[in-house]
Structure 1
Amino acid sequence: MSTAVAVALSLYATAQEQADSAKIDILLLPNVELNEVNVLGTWAQKDDPIAQINLTEKAIEALNTGRDLPYVLQDVAGVVSFSDAGNGVGYTNMRVRGSDITRINVTVNGIPMNDAESHGVFWVNTPDLMSSTNAIQLQKGVGTSTNGSGAFGASLGLSTLGAGEKGGRITLGAGSYGTQRATMEAGTGKSASGFWMNTRISSITSDGYVERASSDLQSYYVSAGFAGGGHYVEAVRFGGGERTYQAWYGVDSTTMYGPDAYPQFNAAGALYDDAWSVIGTYDDQVDNYGQEHTQLHYRYSNLFGGTFAAALHHTAGAGYYEEYNQGFAFADFGISNYVSAMDTVTFGDVVSRKWLDNDFYGATSSWTYENGDQRVQLGGGVHRYEGAHFGRVIWANNPNVSTLDGDYYTGDAIKDDANIYAKYALTSNNLLVYADAQYRYVNHSSTGGSATGPANFDRTFNFFNPKVGMTYNLGGNQILGAYAGVGHREPNRTDLQYADDANSLQAERMLDMEFNFRNSGEKWAFDVNAYRQQYQNQLVLTGAIDAQGYPIRENVGQSFRQGVEFTGAYELT
């Protein structure tokens, strides 16, 4: 259980950001506002009784200094952002109301971004995505029905769609710890015939605050679209590659705060003598991964009096993390022992690469109908994930490694995810009533194993997630709101693999209750939100981690989170 009070004043400290990362913009043509944005179904409307934060393109641009999205949102009440390297480049992460990224549903243009097996989102795989993002919505708590994994901490939606700017821009940045950023963007704008195209390429490098926590990140974005005659079509392709030195182990309290404190210490890649003194480092203790996202979006504005939207998507990812394993049993890597000076040598040093090669594909659709004071939304999606896990040895101080053939472990996983939802909103005078219901089906199966043992399971989950709420206009801009919603979240791969009995591990269930008051004037806005989140079978940390540094969890009966969030903003000019 936990209780929290979060306070945030949304006064953007752009001067501080610029001090940390000097930026030069070369504008070829003036900026203009986006004229096409197509996000339907999964985003909350402004008046819905959902605790939400919305960022426009202008706000995103002011906050975008080359660091990943968690740092764009770091001043939002209830959000905590952090990074492995310590400076917001490379592996970054965030929590909302104490819930980590595996409990935050993330979509880009309505397409799920959460990894199907770990439920995590790895912003390092899509560096500088903020430079192609024109709108962000953060829904706290269960929120509205969406595609992908269950939203326990929040739902985070990004939009990159639209004709964009006509012209081009080069952004050059430099900051502390050897951080450098170069971004080139160009767009045609929307032509008279309704066509457009946008492109971007980016490169970000950094040495990191933590020792050896370097990052070498490359990314691109390209889209082309057409709008006319009630039809909207846009094809999107974005992706990137990253080579990041591992820095995910952290430090103990003595190293952090003791008399000989050295918080920059990085245990990853450190080599030790028999007395556990560091005698060197391994230069290639890196994570090396690439990811490509392809989306095709279609919208028609007059289907049975409403707007129909559909999308196809495919995400391909492949890469490995390389690791120097000091003093490990050769048998753990499928290597035979050897005899030296009449002794059988069973332990030694091994360099391994743990691979993941996966595909995620599917389709989403929605239909939105508005008639006066009523709004109806129907939608859903179907998705499949196919992942191959395997490990390879590239070196060992063992003569038998030269005869090693094949992988020392292999594992295959398939995960099917489907959902349908219906949403209804009715406005009568000053009252808005909201109802939302979702059915979600999940099947996750795995055969084979991983670096730490077998991973054989086959689980199916069926979830029903209802939500209701209301808002009441007290007069002027004073709005009072209430919301209650149920969310479910299935165990992830690590949970199922390390459970004493994978078949007995339960899905998490949360009842989210929210009460909100907001008011605003010409230059100011104020919002207070109280929440209580009651969990059944919450998966909580045991204190152990797996070989990749992910925490291991187990079910507990009853638990809760509750808190109060205050947000205020004042326009200085």
Structure 2
Amino acid sequence: MKNSLTTGVALLALAGPAWAQGPVSGTITDARTGTALPGATVYLDGAASAATDAAGSFSIPAVPAGRHELRITFVGYAPLVQQLQGQPTEQRLSATLQPGGVLTGEALVTASRANERTATAYTNVSRQDLDKRNFGQDLPYLLDQTPSVVVNSDAGAGVGYTDIRIRGTSNTGINMTINGVPLNDAESHGSFLVNLPDLASSVSSLQVQRGVGTSQNGGAAFGASINISTLDSRQEAYGETQNSIGSFNTWKNNVQFGTGLVGNHFTFDGRLSRISTDGYMNRASSDLKSYYFAAGYQAKNTLLKFITFSGREKTYQAWNGVPEPALTGNQTLLQNYIDNGELSETDAERVRREGRRYSYYTYDNQTDNYQQNHYQLHLSQGLGEDWNVGAALHLTRGFGYYENYRNRRKFGDYGLQNPIIGGDTLTRTNLIDQKWLDNYFYGGTFALNYQPKANDKLQATLGGAWNRFENDHYGEIIWAQYATNLVPRQRYYFNKARKTDYNGYARATWQVLPKLGIYGDLQVRHIEYTIDGLEDEQNDVTTRASYTFFNPKAGATFTLAEGQQLYGSFAVGQREPVRADFTDRPAGDQSAKAERLEDFEGGYRLTRTDLSLLGPRTALRFEANGFYMNYRNQLVATGQLNDVGAALRTNVARSYRRGVELTGFISADDKISLSSTLTLSRNRILNYRDVTYDADYNPVIGEARTSTISYSPNTVSAHTLEGQPLKGLRLALLYKTVSRQYLDNSENTARSLKPYQVLDFRVRYSIKPQFVKEIELGLLVNNVLNREYVANGYTYSYLGASGGLDTFNWYFPQATRNFLASVGVKF
């Protein structure tokens, strides 16, 4: 089937009057199935001018008189290019895109993304969707309205260290890739987006898959995957700047530029960004800088692109959180915290005064300092009419430290001699240390794609990757109040970690019948992981671990009618323990087990773009997805943290997550739209035994029972109501609800996060004056209702001397009402 473009009016009519400024709108669908393509990008004369919404609809408010080029692109589809004539009257079109496309520049990205054939739950997010929310907050906050997502921020306002959970799974279980290259840290499995500030400004498209999803490079997707692409190239030269200012002395400034297509073959794009804030929490500041640069060469069957991007962050440590009585004002518990923490009178007065914005640290340089440089070389090569290959080489260089002022530390713990002063032998001293990471991550990825143009019934991909991670962990003493044998930057521990990870997969979709398609995906992944040396407490963390996983996936789709589809799938995901699962256990204890997930997904999709419910052009999209995620040896958070704020975990033999995700979208004439998502789930551990510790730190094991998995709310919803009352003016209300979350696996409400609801308001107004392409003014008001809520926390309990259970909870309060205002200019 050929790409087709039809219009309800004379789209290629003769030139209209010179003053013509008529709008152009329409829908983009799959040429094969007729289903909508949300997130497709619509270019007018090389500039991204619109993106399709959840129903596949788009609108360009005004197209000047004269001849123009309209270009429509979507990952995994051949681009559509058509000449367009500006007219004074409104033009309406319907475009269909053909699956395939040899050189979209995203062969690696396409290979790992889900589509209508892969029978999985996913959400496409376009650049325009991200731009709407992007006032400088971290990427998780820009995804807050997608299904089953819960976000939080250490500093309380979405800048600095942030986290995202999907279906109750933290980012250590969320596979993240940038252009098909793994982003997750090889040891912790976490994706620290604070190291890449303002990354969203360079994203051309993004897909969130829930559940195991399709085979990915890097760590296993144990709750979701986030597939990020920055590979898009603009065909026309451009220059842009985005600037935001807001509460807590928050600033964002960036400049972006591109040459467009030079000499019919070359493109160059770049970005410089800076984000800074004092943070909502006291002494929780962030100073973030980043750059992005890409140089590309393209010919008829070849696309070669070099990309480098980097981020440098300096954040004041806020990962301790706030003790519970500082939020509640309970004076008895507050005094208990003061006594147990041996706080001075000054610090005790400070915790009483600062309340929910209290920060434990006061040392000026109690900061995390880290830089991460990424280098990627991508090749997309057409191999005849039906084949193409994508390959990439990559290197990530990371290095940095966090600095701590420490009170009354034993000399022996740092390899120092006990000094004798005035005849007295000292055993403790105040000191300042730095804990360093110095690492390299490098390797290659490839994907060979079979995408026939003449007959698209069968599509297939053969892909894989080889990656190597090397990381030095060490600590240095940079100052001590008392010491006799201290040398500058004395190293007091060192260990070296090495990890090799390679995988191969084969995937295919086959349209067996006109309405029935099947999907298969087989992956083999192997990991070798070693650690040699001592950790900071002088404990031996020598580790030898090896894993081989086979992860099959299969599914089927059935088209009920045009725009209606049923789907079902089964997938297996397995992953290895993280570094802390080995190092935070007694020396020699390597009992942490690999996890296994069996994921069942099934649902119904409806897409209609031809309704007249709310006007002549009403678009409707609805999806209901059911899931059952059955775990073996799942590593779940105990509710405690280690000394760098990472969650401590333990294996549980049997656990599951099951639920339903409902997603709906309706829009009328691009004037008003409503999108909603609701997740109802049950997340349980079978035969769980709670472990506490007595006054002598001996474990006390409770009776076996069924319990709720920590940090797993049973209800999450998100709703966005957006309207365009005037040309160029868009108003939106964003409402988020999250039910109770337990800090550990005891299902004890005394150790939990209370349910919360948050309402945000957003306004953007764009004008197109003669002297620049566009000026856009924006305002984001977060937490309009000024709710005091917390979105994360941790807990620790032990049996006191009296025999009772003493519990200490710490929370991460989120900001009360705050704002961000922006000015954007496109040249």
Report the TM-score, using the length of structure 1 for normalisation. 0.90
> In 1, are the aligned partners of 2:477 and 2:489 still within 8 Å (CA)?
no
The residue aligned with 2:718 is: none
Pick one of 633, 636, 658 that aligns with 1:562: 658
- Letter of the structure 2 residue corresponding to residue 65 of structure 1: F
| Equivalence for 1:536 | 632
Q: How many residues align?
A: 540
Which of 107, 124, 129 is matched with 2:194 structurally? 124
User: Secondary structure in 2 aligned to 1:98?
Assistant: coil
Residue number in structure 2 paired with 1:474: 560
Inter-partner Cα distance in structure 2 for 1:59 and 1:261: 48
> What per-residue deviation string (whole Å, max 9, x for no partner) do you get for residues 414-437 of structure 1?
000000000010112111110101
Equivalent residues in 2 for 1:446-525, closer than 5 Å: 446-452=531-537, 453-500=539-586, 502-522=589-609, 523-525=619-621
Residue 71 of structure 1: SS of its match in structure 2? helix
Report what 1:297 is aligned to. Answer: 378
Distance in 2, Cα, partners of 1:493 & 1:363: 23
Change (3 A) 1:166 1:334: same
Residue of structure 2 in register with 1:434 after alignment:
519
- The structure 2 residue matched to 1:331, chosen from 409, 412, 435, is 412
Contact 1:83 1:91 in 2 (8 A): yes
Distance 1:120 1:303, change over 3 A: farther
* CA spacing shift, 1:259–1:524, aligned 2, 3 Å: farther
Q: Distance in 2 between matches of 1:31 and 1:64?
A: 26
Structure 2: distance between partners of 1:438 and 1:502: 30
Question: Which amino acid in 2 is paired with 1:69?
Answer: L
Check conservation: 1:40, 1:366, Cα contact below 8 A: no
TM-fit CA distance, 1:567? 1.3
- Asked whether the equivalents of residues 40 and 309 of structure 1 are also in contact (C-alpha less than 8 Å), the reply is no
Question: Which residue type is aligned with residue 377 of structure 1?
Answer: T
SS in 2 for 1:212: coil
Give the secondary-structure state (helix, strand or coil) at the position aligned to 1:44.
coil
Question: CA-to-partner distance for each residue in 1:293-330, whole Å, 9 max, x for gaps?
Answer: 00000011116841111000000000000011112212
Determine the structure 2 residue equivalent to 1:144.
214
Deviation at 1:258, TM superposition (A): 3.3
Q: What is the letter of the counterpart of residue 550 of structure 1?
A: A
Is 1:158 equivalent to 2:207 in the alignment?
A: no
Query: In the alignment, which residue of structure 2 is the partner of 1:418?
Result: 502
Structure 2 residue corresponding to 1:258, chosen from 329, 333, 337? 329
Structure-2 residue corresponding to 1:13: none
* Cα separation, 2, equivalents of 1:33 and 1:327: 64
1:396 counterpart = 2:460? no
CA contact (8 A) 2:564 2:606 kept: yes
* Corresponding residue SS for 1:157: strand
In structure 1, how many angstroms separate the alpha carbons of the residues matched to 2:572 and 2:318?
A: 36
1:546 pairs, out of 624, 639, 642, with 642
Q: Which moved more, 1:197-206 or 1:303-312?
A: 303-312
Q: Greater RCO between the two (CA within 8 Å, min separation 6)?
A: 1
Q: Which residue does 1:370 correspond to in 2?
A: 451
Structure 2 letter corresponding to 1:562: R
- Distance (whole Å) between structure 2 residues aligned to residue 130 and residue 113 of structure 1: 14
How much has 1:75 moved relative to structure 2? 0.9
Larger radius of gyration: 2
Q: Label 1:149 to 1:303 Cα distance change in 2 as closer, same or farther (>3 A).
A: farther
Which residue of structure 2 aligns with residue 22 of structure 1?
none
| Distance in 2 (alpha carbons) for counterparts of 1:363 and 1:253 | 47
AA at the equivalent of 1:148: G
Amino acid at match of 1:111: V
CA shift digits 1:431-458 (9 cap, x unpaired): 1110101000001100012223321101
Deviates most, 549-558 or 395-404: 395-404
Q: CA deviation at 1:97?
A: 0.3
After alignment, is 253-262 or 505-514 more displaced?
253-262
- Contact 1:60 / 1:134 at 8 angstroms: preserved in 2? no
Rounded Cα–Cα distance in structure 2 between residues aligned with 1:559 and 1:364: 34
| Equivalent residue number for residue 241 of structure 2 | 170
Moved more, 337-346 or 179-188: 337-346
Report sequence identity in percent. Answer: 39
Give the letter for the 1:300 counterpart: Q
Q: CA deviation at 1:191?
A: 3.0
Contact 1:271-1:282 within 8 A present in 2 as well: no
Counterpart CA distance in 2 for 1:312 and 1:301 is 18
- Looking at structure 1, the residues matched to 665 and 186 of structure 2 have their Cα atoms a distance apart, in angstroms, of 37
The yes-or-no answer on 1:286 pairing with 2:367 is yes
Q: Report deviation, 1:272.
A: 3.8
Partner amino acid for 1:174? I
Residues 341-360 of structure 1: matches in 2 within 5 Å?
341-360=422-441
Q: Would the alpha carbon gap of residues 123 and 405 (structure 1) be closer, same or farther in structure 2, given more than 3 Å must change?
A: closer
Q: What CA distance in whole angstroms lies between the structure 2 residues aligned with 1:484 and 1:259?
A: 50
Structure 1 SS opposite 2:326? helix
Are the equivalent residues in 2 in contact too, given 1:31–1:166 (CA < 8 A)? no
Q: Is 1:115 paired with 2:185?
A: yes
Structure 2 counterparts to residues 55-70 of structure 1, below 5 A: 55-70=125-140
1:44-65 Cα shifts (integer Å, max 9, x gaps): 1243211000011221211222
1:272–1:278 contact (8 Å) kept in structure 2: no
> Once the 2 structures are TM-superposed, how far is the Cα of residue 340 of structure 1 from its aligned partner?
2.8
**Structure 1 stretch displaced more, 182-191 or 360-369:** 182-191
Q: How far apart are the structure 2 equivalents of 1:133 and 1:261?
A: 50
Whole-Å Cα distance in 2 between the matches of residues 33 and 424 of structure 1? 26
User: By how many angstroms is 1:348 displaced?
Assistant: 2.1
Q: Please give the alpha-carbon distance, in whole angstroms, between the structure 2 residues aligned to 1:159 and 1:519.
A: 27
| Cα distance change, pair 219–401 in 1 and its aligned pair in 2 (3 A) | farther
**CA, structure 1 residues 262+151, in 2 after alignment: closer, same or farther (shift >3 Å)?**
farther
Specify whether residues 50 and 391 from structure 1 end up closer, same or farther in structure 2 by C-alpha distance, changes over 3 A only. same
Alpha-carbon distance, 1:467 to partner: 0.5
Q: Which moved more, 1:32-41 or 1:540-549?
A: 32-41
Partner of 2:295: 224
Instruction: Tell me, in whole angstroms, the C-alpha distance in 2 between the residues paired with 1:31 and 1:323.
Output: 56
* Aligned match of 1:4: none
**1:101 lines up with 2:171 in the alignment:** yes
Q: CA deviation at 1:175?
A: 1.1
Distance 1:184 1:73, change over 3 A: same
SS at match of 1:381: strand
Q: How far does residue 278 in structure 1 lie from its aligned partner after superposition?
A: 6.0
Cα offset, 1:560, TM superposition? 0.7
| Residues 1:424 and 1:347: Cα distance change in structure 2 (over 3 Å) | same
| CA positional deviation for 1:566 | 1.2
For residue 36 of structure 2, what is the aligned residue in structure 1?
none
**For 2:268, which of 191, 197, 215 is the aligned residue?**
197
Contact preservation (8 Å) 2:478, 2:490: no
Which amino acid counterpart does residue 553 of structure 1 have in structure 2?
R
Match for 1:73 among 143, 161, 168? 143
Code of the residue aligned with 2:514 in structure 1: it is N
Instruction: State how far apart, in whole Å, the 2-side matches of 1:357 and 1:403 are.
Output: 21
Instruction: Indicate if the aligned counterparts of 2:138 and 2:197 stay in contact, CA closer than 8 A.
Output: yes
Q: Shift of residue 553 of structure 1?
A: 1.4
Deviations 1:26-79 (A, max 9, x none): xxxx99977854123211124321100001122121122211110111111210
What does residue 21 of structure 1 align with?
Answer: none
Shift of 1:252: 3.1
How far apart are residue 259 of structure 1 and its match?
A: 4.8
- What is residue 381 of structure 1 aligned with on the other side? 465
- For normalisation by structure 2, the TM-score amounts to 0.63
Instruction: Please tell me whether residue 40 in structure 1 is matched to residue 115 in structure 2.
Output: no
String of CA shifts for 1:3-27, please: whole Å, max 9, x gaps: xxxxxxx9xxxxxxxxxxxxxxxxx
Do the aligned residues in 2 keep the contact of 1:40 with 1:368 (CA within 8 Å)?
Answer: no
Amino acid at match of 2:559: N
Per-residue CA deviation, residues 476-517 of structure 1 (Å, 9 max, x unaligned), is 211111111000010011101223554432100000111111
**Counterparts in 2 of 1:312 and 1:303: CA distance versus 1, 3 Å:** farther
**Do the aligned partners of 2:476 and 2:489 also contact (CA within 8 Å) in 1?**
no
